[in-house]
Amino acid sequence: MTKPKLFTVIKEHPEEFKGKHLLNDVVAGLIVAIVALPLSIALAISSGVSPEIGLITAIIAGFFISFLGGSRVQIGGPTAAFVVIICGIIAQYGIDGLIISTILAGIFLIIFGVLGLGDVIKFIPFPITVGFTTGIGVTLFSTQLNDFLGMNIEGISSEFLEKWAAYLSNLSKINVHALIIGVVAILIIVFWGKINKKIPGSLVALIVTTAAVYLLQKNGMWTDVSTIGSKYANISGKFPMPHIPDLTNIKISALVEPAITIAILAGIESLLSAVVADGMTGDKHDSNQELIAQGVANIASALFGGLPATGAIARTAANIKNGGRTPVAGMVHAVTLLIIMLVAMPLAKMIPMTTLAAILIVTSINMCEFKEFALIFKTTKSDFSVLILTFLLTVIFDLVVAIEFGMVLAMFLFIKRMSDVFEINTVSKESETDTYKYISDEIMVYEFAGPMFFGASTRFMEIMKDMNLESDVLILRMKNVPMIDGTLVDSLKKTIDYCRKNDITVLYAELNEQPYKVLQKFGCEERLGKEKFFDTMSGAYAYAESLVKKKKKA
């Protein structure tokens, strides 16, 4: 039975909630809240909702992910990976459609966790995760250029290629003032870390550029630079009450697919973040409990009008680097954001839109794993083809299509690889292996190596049909066969029938546990006789020689 990491740590390490340890968690939570503040606002606006919605998501989802999660240090909230998905859902189904999709996604995540699917998600191949992560980064980058360049193009398409076509056809609309502010923000974010690593560069960029634009506009200059206030007039600092949207005009079945998209992405990103955290802390997270917590967090966030949420790798890493070691840090981060929202939300109206775009441009570039692209390119063509397919489908279509096609291609390529690994070697009388020699043309020995599964069945049958029909005994040596499946068992049965027709006795030697049990279940031992199965090759060969001698005497 899974249990939230918070309760496990309280029970096993109560000292970590006292004195210096507790203070470290509180400080880490405060710093992570400062990191999360500009990101939450920027992600909300990029998703097409009011800025306070991003903070609500970070507060509600962030609290539940820490309170109920399977990781000590996971920090949850809105992430850049969801931006494109959210925009698409809102465009097609509206805000109520997004809320219902997020609730359904939360339910799916809880089911995944209860069914123990946390470990299954980890089996998604590395090229696929690199492909869709980089694809999301490129797509997010493309969504920010409208605000970063101050172009203010209305009704811009959500499609990647159409979006870039719109940018290229509207280059004359670039706002130089907005571009300067955006570039300054990026430079601050990039270089601030060399001055001070405790205070996030995104917060410094936000404060500096906001103050600059405010002073310039107050003096009647650069009034053409858009701010949050010019786009969202009614920003509220009040915390909303939970509510369920009106379902009368919404077809729930239509929202299942986007809900699955959210659930898959939330599950993958949260578990990747937890794995990264384990590597930094030496701890081990509970993947199924983490999925359950993600599910509860998404349901709660949606009920308060928030966005989909998941574990955030950058914020989790910031938590660890600043001393966070228990879920208390994540809970403090949520409470801190709540206080900031209630007290200082009206000040957000002065933030330039280009600054928020600059923050997300840096985030999107950091998401793009181009170094991994180069590494995978050097490995195998099959891995690189999976990577490219997933990347292109993520950019041109969407995440679910990319993962579906990427997984299918990866599975087919894996089957091909495994079938190539499988080997069948014939041993003649001139061969010498182990402690025995083959001295008779009447005895054939076939040594198998590798997994015997459906992908190798055609090759297996082709080789077996070319066997020497003049021999009296066929020994199948399976010392290097780790597993066998039903397709190859069926092929073995056909081989045995083929041998019987040609008066050839079949013996098995050196079977591993799994192949032996599978052959037993398929009735092979009963059909051939237990005396035809040998633990050692020397035993099988001695028995084969005795059969040959009997046949010669007869």
What's this model's pTM, rounded to 2 decimal places? 0.77
CA neighbor of 341 nearest in space, from 239, 203, 240 = 239
The Cα 249–Cα 247 span in angstroms is 6
For the chain, which residues make up each domain, given as ranges? Answer: 5-411, 423-553
Least confident residue range of 205-214, 249-258, 294-303, 403-412:
403-412
What secondary structure letter does DSSP report for 352? B
For position 1, what pLDDT does the model report? 66
Q: CB under 8 Å to 372, separation ≥6 — which residues?
A: 126, 130, 134
Q: Would strands 423-427 and 432-433 be described as parallel, antiparallel, or unpaired?
A: unpaired
Locate 166 and state its tokens: 């719109």
Locate 94 and state its tokens: 């509206």
- Top-ranked range on mean pLDDT: pick from 66-75, 112-121, 359-368: 66-75
Classify 437 as helix, strand or coil: strand
Helices and strands, counts by H and E, the chain: 23, 9
What secondary structure letter does DSSP report for 241? P
Locate 145 and state its tokens: 């250029």
Complete DSSP assignment for 278-292: HHHHS----HHHHHH
Contact between 311 and 274 (Cβ < 8 Å): yes
Least confident residue range of 132-141, 212-221, 507-516:
132-141
Complete DSSP assignment for 487-527: HHHHHHHHHHHHHHHTT-EEEEES--HHHHHHHHHTTHHHH
Locate 34 and state its tokens: 């400062």
Residue type, 448: F
Under the banding of pLDDT at 50, 70 and 90, the label for residue 432 is: very low
Q: Would strands 423-427 and 533-534 be described as parallel, antiparallel, or unpaired?
A: unpaired
- Assess whether pLDDT exceeds 70 at residue 430: no
The Cα 478–Cα 519 span in angstroms is 12
- For 111-128, the pLDDT digits (tens) are 999 999 887 766 778 888
- For 10-23, the pLDDT digits (tens) are 999 999 999 999 99
* Residue 18, CA atoms < 13 Å, CB-side half-sphere: 4
- For 294-347, the pLDDT digits (tens) are 999 999 999 999 999 999 988 998 899 889 999 999 999 999 999 999 998 888
For position 435, what pLDDT does the model report? 35
Please give the mean pLDDT across all residues of the chain: 88
Neighbours of 81 (CB within 10 A): 24
Least confident residue range of 48-52, 179-183, 242-246, 416-420:
416-420
Contact between 5 and 69 (Cβ < 8 Å): yes
Under the banding of pLDDT at 50, 70 and 90, the label for residue 238 is: confident
For position 422, what pLDDT does the model report? 78
- Assess whether pLDDT exceeds 80 at residue 110: yes
Contact between 440 and 474 (Cβ < 8 Å): no
Neighbours of 187 (CB within 10 A): 13
The Cα 469–Cα 441 span in angstroms is 11
Under the banding of pLDDT at 50, 70 and 90, the label for residue 438 is: very low
Contact between 410 and 125 (Cβ < 8 Å): yes
Q: Would strands 423-427 and 443-449 be described as parallel, antiparallel, or unpaired?
A: antiparallel
For position 362, what pLDDT does the model report? 92
For position 374, what pLDDT does the model report? 86
Classify 379 as helix, strand or coil: coil
The Cα 142–Cα 242 span in angstroms is 34
- For 245-271, the pLDDT digits (tens) are 877 777 888 999 899 989 988 998 899
The Cα 90–Cα 172 span in angstroms is 29
Domain made up of 423-553: CATH architecture: 2-Layer Sandwich (3.30)
For position 75, what pLDDT does the model report? 96
Q: In DSSP terms, which residues pair with 445 in a beta bridge?
A: 427, 475
In 370-481, which ranges are E strands?
Answer: 423-427, 432-433, 436-437, 443-449, 473-480
Q: CB under 8 Å to 445, separation ≥6 — which residues?
A: 426, 427, 431, 438, 474, 475, 477, 541
- For 465-498, the pLDDT digits (tens) are 777 778 889 999 999 999 999 888 988 888 888 8
